[in-house]
Amino acid sequence: MRVTIWNEFRHERSDPQVAAIYPDGIHGALADAVRGPGVEVGTATLDEPEHGLPDEVLDATDVLVWWGHGAHAEVDDGLVERARARVLAGMGLVVLHSGHHAKLFKALMGTTCDLQWREADDVERLWVVAPGHPIARGIGPSIELEIEEMYGEPFDVPAPDELVFVSWFTGGEVFRSGCCYTRGRGRIFYFRPGHETHPTYHHPDVRRVIANAVAWAGCTSQTQS
Amino acid sequence: MRVTIWNEFRHERSDPQVAAIYPDGIHGALADAVRGPGVEVGTATLDEPEHGLPDEVLDATDVLVWWGHGAHAEVDDGLVERARARVLAGMGLVVLHSGHHAKLFKALMGTTCDLQWREADDVERLWVVAPGHPIARGIGPSIELEIEEMYGEPFDVPAPDELVFVSWFTGGEVFRSGCCYTRGRGRIFYFRPGHETHPTYHHPDVRRVIANAVAWAGCTSQTQS
Amino acid sequence: MRVTIWNEFRHERSDPQVAAIYPDGIHGALADAVRGPGVEVGTATLDEPEHGLPDEVLDATDVLVWWGHGAHAEVDDGLVERARARVLAGMGLVVLHSGHHAKLFKALMGTTCDLQWREADDVERLWVVAPGHPIARGIGPSIELEIEEMYGEPFDVPAPDELVFVSWFTGGEVFRSGCCYTRGRGRIFYFRPGHETHPTYHHPDVRRVIANAVAWAGCTSQTQS
Amino acid sequence: MRVTIWNEFRHERSDPQVAAIYPDGIHGALADAVRGPGVEVGTATLDEPEHGLPDEVLDATDVLVWWGHGAHAEVDDGLVERARARVLAGMGLVVLHSGHHAKLFKALMGTTCDLQWREADDVERLWVVAPGHPIARGIGPSIELEIEEMYGEPFDVPAPDELVFVSWFTGGEVFRSGCCYTRGRGRIFYFRPGHETHPTYHHPDVRRVIANAVAWAGCTSQTQS
């Protein structure tokens, strides 16, 4: 399976706090989480030519992982349409955190993908509500993150085809934080955690969920080969 | 629309604390919540002959509301099967709180309907995750209950056809607390709140949700008339 | 409830066969099907200024019914975005037949909405697979249309939140022909029948389904008033 | 993965026509279809002690395949409850054809599981409506069976979590013929074809679907090991 991690890669270069947490970029941490036997990982970032996703890369990608935040508007519309077509044809897509507002995710969902949010000192606890789901494999009843940005309901997405995680936050909010979709032949997983100022992608359970999600989302793509 | 409120009606007679909160029984409070123009309400309780639900009552019921807790095992299996057949033929069913373990609900779900729980001093905040749903009509972004029993995930039910509410509890848990199902021609709504030692069924938003749920669940039954 | 029927209204003016079937336009036949106590109906067509849907019309519409076929590309992108925002805010949407390729429907679904098709002499039989659903109210086990265009699977839409009808065609195909979605606060129903060269919208059961669908889709919008 | 094929095994012993088609029993044909690298297959039949499913067999089974028809009532209720508990704990279940009325399937669904049927000379064509689904892997747009018993809608089951196949029959009916469910930690697939008087389980595409379904349903069970 060939996985491409796409990262905006701006915060890490402009904010020393983020750089300290992710010295190899968020994409570097995610690549480490996903890499394994039978899983080849490449990375691509916004400021590379064609955002690092020319046709030859996109066409060879079984699962695309997407992290973006402040620069969604800079992503080329043509790339968005090409990536969407690839998903509908069977490429898996794992959308992380603030990627809920990525053009690609919004185009596939058809809704605003808006949500409530707050940067504070919330603890986030992600509860598994689908204990048998492959994406929850190896995870206990919940995952606890000592500090994370809060995302709250209502989350304006289509009702997920399968809901795997629901988050609790100290401040009193809940969030559907692990949502599965099938669109065309492609599988899509949205996973909430991962604010850039917290070391979330170094958390072993978060890494395991992302690796599981890549395996789940890649299943369809690989059936075609 | 003819609504029948079924209540175990044991706690109110044995526990003065519960009797003080519900002097007319939980069924009395629920009947007040549901009664309105075009909605006739009757009540039935466990210790009446045939549990208050002989054929002539069941057959004339458009929506059955069910509250039970300690005496699920005493409910007659024949009645359970008759009530289940009525639901599949189009009678609506609204199952409240500890009714998750009622024989009728378990027979319709096919799963254990187990959950985690704790009696403590939790605040419960129910978030609307389906803002356009008829059952959330007139409700703001969330409902806050100052003190309630905690129910936590995993909740072993089939994934709801529509998920309307998700609860947050002070102690760190979440729960899918408003779940819609269609089984046969019948509509079923499970709604979490309502521990007998708290005045939950006097809360105006909780009453509104239950009245909305009755209207939603009764829609199918009435189509046949 | 205020319903606006939108029709491309080209075939009726260029093709005498279609004009003979729909002398008042397809929108005229649909308006007759939907009009009733408590339901005000207006119409709008492609070649009117702003396609007949200026803000004051769209904002006053509880349910929009959409029939388009050959001129999807001529529909203004700004209108599509305004209409999509209205659906997400709670306006109902009923999309008919070749409207599966309307920009508005595709934007809300996020997929290609492609399907197989054939113009021949097929009989279409629509089976009710959700007998208790409000949209099937008053309909028997199936609806038979003596001659219709064939639409076949795979239909590239998200799995419907509720599937109400499945069509059978003489030539050997099936189709998910009555599909319910919720997007944002809005309810969407796609209904397959209605090729312009057949008198489908004069069929009493088809008219009843469309009237039922309007009532179902309008439920959300009206909750806000 | 350890698969147990359960077969009623009565028709093959009493009806020479069936015996001629399935000289090793329906379970023998199914075992051949499912056996493969990493897949151990055992069989069990109604008239063996404990119906061939004592605890030590059931507890060692990752996926149970079930074919029954005329003798559903003879299956021991205690076994049904043990098997249901195993499914909820993660054992996969593939239910074939007339198994729609098996006690085990009905207990898991909570509905009557009734349907329409006719034994005639129908052609059945099963259309793939979820082309990216693992259970449809390697299958073209449809599967054609020259002669099969007809099953028609309405099929009184809960709306499937995922719908993979829809059948067309010569006589004018449709049927949701490939239905996925998750119950507890267990995955359940219902697959329609397989009347005992037709050589359906020798058809390569039918065999492939059943093997795919076993792999899909076994995924959850294996996560626990």
DSSP string, chain B: -EEEEEE---HHHH-HHHHHH-TTHHHHHHHHHH-BTTBEEEEEETTSGGGG--HHHHHT-SEEEEE--S-GGGS-HHHHHHHHHHHHTT-EEEEEGGGGG-HHHHHHH-S----EEE-S---EEEEES-TT-GGGTT--SEEEESS--EEES---SPPPSEEEEEEEETTS-EEEEEEEEEETTEEEEEE----TTS-GGGSHHHHHHHHHHHHHHHHHHHHH-
> A109 CB near a chain C CB, below 8 Å?
yes
pLDDT band at B225 (very low <50, low <70, confident <90, very high): very low
pLDDT band at C225 (very low <50, low <70, confident <90, very high): very low
Contact between B210 and B34 under an 8 Å Cβ cutoff? The reply is: yes
CA distance B16 to C119: 74
Closest CA to C92 of C58, C69, C68, C126: C58
Distances (CA, A) of B132 to A122, B140, C62, C108: 28, 11, 13, 16
| Residue type at C31 in one-letter notation | A
For position C219, what pLDDT does the model report? Answer: 85
Minimal CA separation from C143 to chain A, in Å: 29
Q: Which residue of B has its CA nearest to A140?
A: B154
pLDDT band at B189 (very low <50, low <70, confident <90, very high): very high
> A156 CB near a chain C CB, below 8 Å?
yes
Which tens digits make up the pLDDT trace of D124-135? 999 999 999 999
For position D224, what pLDDT does the model report? Answer: 44
The DSSP 8-state label assigned to residue C37 in this structure reads T
For position C223, what pLDDT does the model report? Answer: 47
CA distance D107 to B172: 34
For position B56, what pLDDT does the model report? Answer: 97
**A153, A169, A177: which to substitute to probe chain B, counting the most B Cβ within 10 Å?**
A153
pLDDT of residue A220 exceeding 90? no
When CB atoms are compared, the residue of B132, B185, B220 closest to C185 is: B132
pLDDT of residue C38 exceeding 80? yes
Average pLDDT over residues D148-173: 98
pLDDT of residue D187 exceeding 50? yes
Minimal CA separation from C77 to chain A, in Å: 15
Question: Who's near B17: CB < 8 A, 6+ residues apart?
Answer: B197
Helix (H) or strand (E) holding C176: strand C174-183
Average pLDDT over residues D175-184: 98
**D111, D166, D170: which to substitute to probe chain C, counting the most C Cβ within 10 Å?**
D166
> B181 CB near a chain A CB, below 8 Å?
no
Tally of CB atoms within 10 A around D39:
17
Tally of CB atoms within 10 A around D73:
7
pLDDT band at A172 (very low <50, low <70, confident <90, very high): very high
Count Cβ atoms within 10 A of the Cβ of residue B42 and give its class: 0-12 exposed, 13-18 middle, 19 or more buried: middle
Number of C-alpha atoms within 13 angstroms, CB side, residue C213? 30
User: In A, which residues are within 8 Å of C182 by CB distance?
Assistant: 158-159
**Cβ–Cβ below 8 Å for D219 and A134:** yes
When CB atoms are compared, the residue of C112, C156, C183 closest to A110 is: C183
Alpha-helix residue ranges (DSSP H) falling in C35-157: 55-59, 77-88, 103-109
Residues of chain A with pLDDT > 70: what percent?
A: 97
Kindly report the CA angle at C107 between C106 and C108, in degrees rounded to 5? 90
Average pLDDT over residues A184-195: 98
Tokens in use for C99?
A: 């409207």
Q: Which residue of B has its CA nearest to C221?
A: B132
For position A224, what pLDDT does the model report? Answer: 44
The DSSP 8-state label assigned to residue D72 in this structure reads G
Contact between D187 and D180 under an 8 Å Cβ cutoff? The reply is: yes
| Residue type at B118 in one-letter notation | R
| ipTM attached to this prediction | 0.96
Contact between A127 and A172 under an 8 Å Cβ cutoff? The reply is: no
Average pLDDT over residues A41-64: 98
Which tens digits make up the pLDDT trace of C163-174? 999 999 999 999
For position A63, what pLDDT does the model report? Answer: 98
Tokens 């940067």 — which residue? Answer: A119
Which tens digits make up the pLDDT trace of A115-140? 999 999 999 999 999 999 999 999 99
Q: Crossing angle of helices D25-34/D204-224, nearest 10°? A: 70
pLDDT of residue A225 exceeding 80? no
Alpha-helix residue ranges (DSSP H) falling in chain C: 11-14, 16-21, 25-34, 55-59, 77-88, 103-109, 204-224
pLDDT band at C224 (very low <50, low <70, confident <90, very high): very low
> A114 CB near a chain C CB, below 8 Å?
no
For position A222, what pLDDT does the model report? Answer: 54
**A111, A153, A179, A181: which to substitute to probe chain C, counting the most C Cβ within 10 Å?**
A111
User: In D, which residues are within 8 Å of C169 by CB distance?
Assistant: 168
Distance of CA B15 to the CA centre of its chain: 21
Distance of CA A138 to the CA centre of its chain: 19
Average pLDDT over residues D18-33: 98
Tokens in use for A116?
A: 């409530």
User: In B, which residues are within 8 Å of A162 by CB distance?
Assistant: 159
β-bridge partners, A165: A128, A178
Contact between D3 and D92 under an 8 Å Cβ cutoff? The reply is: no
Q: What is the average pLDDT score of chain D?
A: 96
pLDDT of residue C161 exceeding 70? yes
For position B153, what pLDDT does the model report? Answer: 98
Cis peptide before C204 (omega within 30 of 0): no
Count Cβ atoms within 10 A of the Cβ of residue A54 and give its class: 0-12 exposed, 13-18 middle, 19 or more buried: middle
For position A213, what pLDDT does the model report? Answer: 98
| Cα dihedral sign, B191-B196-B199-B201 | positive
For position D219, what pLDDT does the model report? Answer: 85
When CB atoms are compared, the residue of B125, B153, B162 closest to A166 is: B153
CA distance D179 to D166: 9
The residues in C 185-214 lying below 8 A from B, measured between CB atoms, are 185-187
For position A221, what pLDDT does the model report? Answer: 61
pLDDT band at D221 (very low <50, low <70, confident <90, very high): low
pLDDT of residue C186 exceeding 60? yes
Contact between A151 and A101 under an 8 Å Cβ cutoff? The reply is: no
pLDDT band at A223 (very low <50, low <70, confident <90, very high): very low
User: In A, which residues are within 8 Å of B159 by CB distance?
Assistant: 130, 162-163
For position D222, what pLDDT does the model report? Answer: 54
Number of C-alpha atoms within 13 angstroms, CB side, residue D145? 28
Closest CA to C163 of C199, C195, C126: C126
**A84, A109, A114, A183: which to substitute to probe chain C, counting the most C Cβ within 10 Å?**
A183
Which tens digits make up the pLDDT trace of B107-118? 999 999 999 999
Q: What is the average pLDDT score of chain A?
A: 96
- DSSP for chain A, written as a single string: -EEEEEE---HHHH-HHHHHH-TTHHHHHHHHHH-BTTBEEEEEETTSGGGG--HHHHHT-SEEEEE--S-GGGS-HHHHHHHHHHHHTT-EEEEEGGGGG-HHHHHHH-S----EEE-S---EEEEES-TT-GGGTT--SEEEESS--EEES---SPPPSEEEEEEEETTS-EEEEEEEEEETTEEEEEE----TTS-GGGSHHHHHHHHHHHHHHHHHHHHH-
